[in-house]
Amino acid sequence: MAMASLLLLLLVFAAAPFSVAPLAVFEPGSFETTTLDVGRRDPSSPPRPLLVTAPTIPGSYPILLFAHGTYLQPNLYTMLFRHISSHGFIVVAPRLFDRVLPSGPTEVDYVAQVANWLPSGLPSVLPATVEPNLGKLAVSGHSRGGKSAFALALGYAETPLVDGVTISAIVGVDPVAGRSKNRRTDPRILTYEPHSFNLSVPVSVIGTGLGNKGKSLLTPPCAPDEVNHVEFYRESRAPASHFVASDYGHMDMLNDWFLGMMCRSGRGPRGPMRRAVGGIVVAFLKAYLEGRRDDYVAILENPLAAPVKLSPVDNIVPYATLAGGGLNLAAA
């Protein structure tokens, strides 16, 4: 009888889903935040209207410059921005079009102009006791904005970055370079050669498993094969990482009220997807901007710690190098 009970108990444990304690980066952080709408008439004279999300607790914080997706607006990402900012980051998101979508090169130049505004303009719009750490600047973006972030780091902007503005890390959130390999948007940064991006800063690419699938037979995918996250990661150089939220779609990290009618979505709520994207961004930035790598390594080694299924997960730098202290992540 005792043996039968033991066997039954073992079968129950074997059938139960394996779970991992969630990491703090996937939950809201400890910093209270504020969101500031900074128009072009503001005394700081930003080159584009901005949405700035920042901690309110006194301190100096790294900056994430974020470019939104095609025909979207920064206010569609406020829940994601608050998650990132609550962990001790300032998120600066310019509005990149008004009534007419700009050309690809113009959009990249807008992002460069905002980057150049940061040293003189950003301190004046933040709470008095909050300081931007311009020595720790990362660029990011979603969809076409993700491509613009890469293009800026690769030097495609007509406006050169001024002294004191240096990109230290790049995060692509389901980046897209066009409608197809033969219909890529300018500037055409993809080369289709492995590790061809001439970048010396760490890169993280977050993709979606449903982005390359149309919502119906009549609608094209929002993140088509050959121009999506897979190729961006393939062309990145070490150190680089790749996380794919396999059950979610191209717009599923946006605010709940945005419908995203043209793109296929996952069946679950968006909250877990936002927490997954926000948590990966936070862990990556902490690792490479601040040298606090435990959360980043934990996600790479055990993706089950994320609130959504991450598959595949890949990293060009071996885990042993990350965990063993042989690589100074903050300086890589």
What residues contact residue 183 under an 8 Å CB cut-off, 6+ apart?
none
Distance CA 214, CA 211 (A): 8
**174 catalytic residue (yes or no):** yes
Catalytic-labelled residue, pool 236, 241, 250, 265: 250
DSSP class of residue 77? G
33: nearest Cα among 171, 127, 141, 138: 127
Contacts of 221 (CB under 8 A, 6+ apart): 211, 212, 213, 214, 250, 263, 264
Q: Among 140, 168, 174, 236, which one carries the catalytic annotation?
A: 174
Query: Beta-carbon neighbour count of residue 20 at 10 Å?
Result: 11
**Cα–Cα distance between 89 and 241 in angstroms, integer?**
20
Cα torsion angle, 128, 288, 254, 107, sign:
positive
- The sign of the dihedral angle between the CA atoms of 103, 107, 112, 117 is positive
* Edge-to-edge order in the sheet of strand 167-173: 33-38, 50-55, 90-94, 59-67, 130-142, 167-173, 203-208, 240-245, 310-315
Q: Which of 85, 143, 204, 236 is catalytic?
A: 143
Q: Is 68 a catalytic residue?
A: no
Q: Going by C-beta distance under 8 Å and a sequence separation of 6 or more, which residues neighbour residue 259? A: none
| Residues recognised as catalytic | 143, 174, 250
